[in-house]
């Protein structure tokens, strides 16, 4: 089935201000992640006022890390020539590998401020992340970005806004599907085990599943980030590194705290 994507990235316009679908999906994902995190936080009887501070830390870390990751890993030359575009986050251009680094740094700083051990609450965060990750990729679909490679098969999407008339793999939707799988797996495990697992288990599992899926989806992505002669893309190199870290967390977890 070939789908024609001629969707406008603009949800509505209020005078000079344009509200984008990307922003709506991003906000929806953040809201769902926050609601789940709040539920898990109260379940563990942790101080709610600390959660408010954590959310601010994580939001800033997510935004800064994801943006810098996109700039540094994928389009450094473009942004050096057009530095004013660096701050146009509402138009898209967020890298999940950069987001992961930003979240890690932000959470580490928060732990130091509140004197909390790293693995003490990180699993609650890991359980909530897939919702934001899934909705961001839907926003990418509306922006016609993070598109896949051209396909001659019976399945693909023609991104009309790119001025094309041939189908591509909807790589961003593949990653949405990866996150939905993670959500289901987390639900099935948490329903039986709750937090009765080794600290760091959900974090390690998320890293392995998400970035393992990212490594595979990169084969159908059109954004390389490295010389085309290199056998792997930038995303695959970063994903492999993340998977190794995730496996280490799964194996050693609490001892790394």
pLDDT at 195: 83
DSSP string, 215-255: HHHGGGBS---S-TTSSS-HHHHHHHHHHHHHHHHHHHGGG
pLDDT at 34: 97
Measured CA to CA, the distance from residue 230 to residue 233 in angstroms comes to 7
pLDDT in tens, 213-228: 999 999 998 766 666 7
For the chain, count helices (H), then strands (E): 8, 4
Enumerate residue ranges in the chain where pLDDT < 70.
89-93, 223-227, 253-257
Residue pair 115/195 in contact (Cβ under 8 Å)? The answer is no
Measured CA to CA, the distance from residue 148 to residue 157 in angstroms comes to 9
Q: Give the DSSP H/E element, type plus range, for residue 159.
A: strand 156-159
């Amino acid at each position: 089935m070939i789908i024609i994507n001629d969707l406008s990235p603009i949800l509505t316009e209020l005078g000079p201000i344009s509200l984008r679908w990307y922003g709506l999906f991003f906000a929806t994902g953040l809201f769902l992640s926050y609601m789940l995190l709040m539920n898990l936080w109260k379940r563990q009887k942790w101080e709610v006022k600390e959660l408010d501070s954590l959310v601010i830390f994580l939001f800033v870390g997510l935004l800064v890390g994801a943006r810098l990751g996109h700039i540094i890993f994928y389009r450094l030359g473009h942004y050096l020539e057009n530095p004013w575009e660096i701050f146009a986050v509402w138009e898209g251009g967020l890298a999940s590998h950069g987001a992961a680094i930003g979240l890690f740094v932000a959470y580490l700083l928060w732990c130091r401020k509140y004197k909390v051990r790293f693995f003490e609450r990180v699993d609650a965060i890991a359980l909530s992340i897939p919702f934001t990750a899934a909705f961001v990729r839907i926003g990418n679909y509306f922006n016609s970005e993070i598109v896949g490679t051209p396909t001659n098969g019976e399945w693909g999407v023609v991104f009309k806004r790119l001025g094309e008339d041939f189908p591509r793999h909807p790589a961003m939707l593949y990653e949405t599907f990866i996150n939905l799988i993670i959500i289901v797996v987390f639900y099935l495990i948490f329903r039986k085990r709750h937090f009765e697992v080794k600290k760091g288990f959900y974090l390690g599992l998320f890293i392995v599943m998400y970035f393992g899926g990212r490594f595979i989806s990169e084969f159908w992505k059109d954004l390389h980030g490295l010389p085309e002669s290199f056998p792997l893309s930038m995303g695959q190199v970063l994903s492999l590194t993340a998977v190794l870290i995730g496996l280490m967390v799964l194996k050693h977890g609490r001892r790394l705290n």
